[in-house]
Amino acid sequence: MKERAINPYALWLSSIRGVGNHTIKTLLETASCAEEVYHMTDDEINKCLDGKLKRRGDAAGKALSICFAQKMDPVEEAEKLRQRGIGFVSIEEDFFPQRLRGIPDCPYGIYFVRELVPDDVPSVAIVGARNCSSYGREQARVFAEKLALNGISVVSGMARGVDGIAGRAAANAGGRSYAVLGCGVDVVYPEENGELYDILKERGGLISEYPPGTKPQTKLFPRRNRLISGLADLVLVIESRRRSGTVITVDSALEQGRDIFALPGRVSDALSDGCNFLISQGAGIACTPETVIEHFYGVSENGTDMFEQKRKERNLRREDLSGMEKVLFDVLGCGEIMEPDFLIGRMESILGKHVDMEEFMACMTGLQMKGLAAEVGSCHYKGIG
């Protein structure tokens, strides 16, 4: 992406501490652009704001901080930011993300590293629980990978759990992956996603409405969520409890008129409660990544029955297994975590004979080495595929 010049006055305006979106919007009702605000006097600013802010008396304070900030040299600040590899775009520029322009409470300016979510490419936000299950982890990866490979941008929050996994999977698949942060774009949070931060810096994009250096704060994250949904055409919920940050994202997505898709889960799983509820409320059902892809590109010719194809793939992988491994593979199914005692019991009832622990472990190891099963925790197993 070619570098675009930063509008220094817009940057200046949005970086003033204590002056938020609302104040800026009010100012720009009178002034035509940020540069004009820069040259306004204390009295003029006061006049613009007076009576228009939520609390009376705020105007004087805001005017004071703006005048104080006028001592800064916007051009120099912009140059500093550019040198650090951080971009800035305000709503005044034409390359401001079109998707955001329409949303309620649109930020005046946003900071980004590398690039912004392109307007001309479909974009999906993948969100979900931080404390996700093995199932959620697996599906987040599969969906993000498939979507990215089909040229769809993946927007997430780089949080623990679903967000981070989806962002990473999309980037690793070679697709477009963006993260909207609840802190400055130069701050790594959470720390364990430092590696993902590096990947996105190199190959994806990092976006935030908060000035560089802003530390992560609890109150910033719910506001960040409106940008995640705002930057996407469709929000895909992987796993969510009934009350969670994910619900906030979904709420703002509905407010912004975005489509919602949810990954169905078992009704007994607390972590799928949110998703199942969304489906019952009319959200799209994301059974396979193809369902979501078809939403953008229409029904593909050969992908009429995704389940059929999935079954075929599974059968193909099953071919190479030994007799005993086949039984275990069938018993394991896909995704659900099971304990060895239970699995052996099922195998015995299918085979009608005693199954040794050795035989079981040998089969299990075989499946794991072939990548068809995985150990979760200690000696719990799940099928993959």
Partner 1 sequence: MYSSIITGAVHGIDSYLMRVETDISNGLPSFNMVGFMSGEMREAGERVRVALKNLGIHMPPQRITVNLSPAGIPKRGMVVDLPVSVGLLVCLGYIPDGAVNNVLVAGELGLNGEIRPVNGILSIVMEAKANGISTCLVPDGNLKEGALVHGIRVVGVRTLAELVNYLKKTPKERDRFLPPAEVDADQLLGQTPNKGYPDLSQVHGQIQAKKVLEIAAAGFHNVLMSGPPGAGKSMLARCLPGIMPPLTKEEALEITKIYSAAGLLPEDTALITERPFLSPHHSVTRAVLIGGGNIPAPGLITLAHLGVLFLDEISEYKANELNSLREPLENQEIIIRRLTGAYRYPARPLLVAAANPCPCGYYPDMNRCTCTPKEVLKYQKRISGPFIDRIDFRVHVGRVGSDELQGSGHSESSETVRIRVMEAIERQKRRFSGTPFHYNSDMTPDAVEHFCPLNSLLTEKMRIVYDQLGMSVRSYHKCLKMARTIADLNGREMILERDLMMAVGFRLQEYNEEEKTSGREFSSDKKIVPASRRHSIEEELS
- Residues 332, 343: contact at Cβ < 8 Å? yes
Q: With binding defined as CB under 8 A, does residue 332 bind partner 1?
A: no
Q: Of 177, 182, 183, 224, nearest to 198 (Cα)? A: 177
- Residues 206, 181: contact at Cβ < 8 Å? yes
User: How many residues of this chain interact with partner 1, rule: CB under 8 A?
Assistant: 55
The minimum distance between CB 81 and partner 1, in angstroms, equals 11
CA distance 218 to 225: 12
- Residues 144, 154: contact at Cβ < 8 Å? yes
Q: Of 208, 185, 27, nearest to 100 (Cα)? A: 208
Quote the distance between the C-alpha of residue 341 and its chain's center.
38
Figure out which of the listed residues 192, 202, 313, 320 binds partner 1, where binding follows CB under 8 A. Answer: 192
CA distance 310 to 14: 50
Look at strands 123-127 and 259-262 and give their pairing: unpaired
The minimum distance between CB 347 and partner 1, in angstroms, equals 12
Q: With binding defined as CB under 8 A, does residue 269 bind partner 1?
A: yes
Q: With binding defined as CB under 8 A, does residue 69 bind partner 1?
A: no
Burial 203-220 (b: 16+ CB within 10 A, else e): bbbbbbbbbbebebeeeb
Q: With binding defined as CB under 8 A, does residue 137 bind partner 1?
A: yes
The minimum distance between CB 60 and partner 1, in angstroms, equals 27
Q: With binding defined as CB under 8 A, does residue 79 bind partner 1?
A: no
8-37: contacts with partner 1 (CB under 8 A): none
Q: With binding defined as CB under 8 A, does residue 186 bind partner 1?
A: yes
- Residues 196, 203: contact at Cβ < 8 Å? no
Q: With binding defined as CB under 8 A, does residue 146 bind partner 1?
A: no
The minimum distance between CB 134 and partner 1, in angstroms, equals 7
Figure out which of the listed residues 3, 301, 319, 358 binds partner 1, where binding follows CB under 8 A. Answer: 358
Q: With binding defined as CB under 8 A, does residue 263 bind partner 1?
A: no
Residue among 160 and 318 whose Cβ is closer to partner 1: 160
Binding site for partner 1 (CB under 8 A): 130-131, 133-134, 137, 141, 160-161, 164-165, 168-169, 172, 184, 186-188, 191-195, 197-198, 212-213, 268-271, 337, 339-342, 344, 356-359, 361-366, 368-369, 374-380
